[in-house]
């Protein structure tokens, strides 16, 4: 029997999850990447475009283009920081807030479904294994992400 690469599984699962998210968000007019930005702003409204890029692991240019489209769509507003005009902060509009809640609901529904596929003990083991892989590949641990979020909020 031929051994399948773990990478094959990760890529396949990633594609299936993205397809599922896209299927649920497309009717709402929300693109997958926009969902991530909306969810981050829902947690931390008023983030800078740079902090959004760092948090999501995408380029500042990508964030700028995405935020421009989202502003045109009425989901966000950009404002200069009151202490530094060079810094642009992004805030959800009422429509953006509603859309963020829908995104989070879609994610929670998918997460709940995944949790029905295996026992709790397996889910806890899987979470630890995925964290270890993410960290090993250069990602951050949940503690590092919490520290970063706290530093962003206090700035």
Q: Which residue has the tokens 């920081």?
A: 81
Query: What is the pLDDT, as a whole number, of residue 152?
Result: 42
pLDDT in tens, 130-150: 999 988 888 876 665 655 445
CB 38 within 8 A of CB 100: yes
What pLDDT score does 154 carry?
A: 47
Burial class of 79 by CB neighbour count within 10 A (0 to 12, 13 to 18, 19+): exposed
Fold held by 15-117: Arc Repressor Mutant, subunit A (1.10.10)
Q: So what's the pLDDT on residue 138?
A: 87
Half-sphere exposure of 105 (CA within 13 A, CB side): 9
Domain regions of the chain by residue span: 15-117, 120-155
Compute the distance between CA of residue 56 and CA of residue 36 in angstroms, rounded to an integer: 8
How confident is the model over 34-41, as a mean pLDDT?
Answer: 95
CA distance 45 to 87: 15
- In this structure, the dihedral spanned by the alpha carbons of residues 7, 8, 12 and 14, taken in order and rounded to 10 degrees, is 10
d(CA 92, CA 38): 8
In angstroms, the CA 91 to CA 75 distance is 9
Q: Compute the distance between CA of residue 150 and CA of residue 147 in angstroms, rounded to an integer.
A: 5
In contact, 40 and 70? CB cutoff 8 Å: no
Q: Say what percent of the chain tops pLDDT 90.
A: 72
pTM over 0.85: no
Question: pLDDT class for 43, splitting at 50, 70, 90?
Answer: very high
**pLDDT for 5:** 87
The answer to whether 59 touches 100, Cβ cutoff 8 Å, is: no
Axis crossing angle, helix 6-25 with helix 94-115, rounded to the nearest 10: 140
């Amino acid at each position: 029997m031929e051994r399948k690469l773990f990478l094959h599984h990760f890529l396949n699962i990633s594609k299936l999850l993205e397809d599922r998210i896209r299927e649920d968000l497309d009717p709402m007019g929300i693109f997958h990447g926009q969902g991530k930005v909306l969810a981050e702003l829902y947690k931390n409204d008023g983030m800078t475009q740079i902090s959004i890029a760092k948090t999501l692991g995408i380029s500042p240019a990508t964030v700028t283009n995405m935020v421009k489209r989202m502003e045109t769509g009425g989901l966000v507003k950009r404002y200069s920081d009151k202490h530094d005009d060079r810094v642009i902060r992004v805030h959800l509009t009422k429509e953006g807030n509603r859309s963020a809640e829908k995104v989070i609901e879609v994610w929670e529904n998918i997460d709940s479904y995944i949790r029905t596929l295996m026992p709790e003990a397996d889910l806890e083991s899987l979470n630890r294994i995925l964290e270890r892989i993410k960290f090993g590949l250069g990602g951050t641990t949940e503690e590092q992400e919490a520290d970063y979020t706290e530093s962003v909020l206090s700035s």
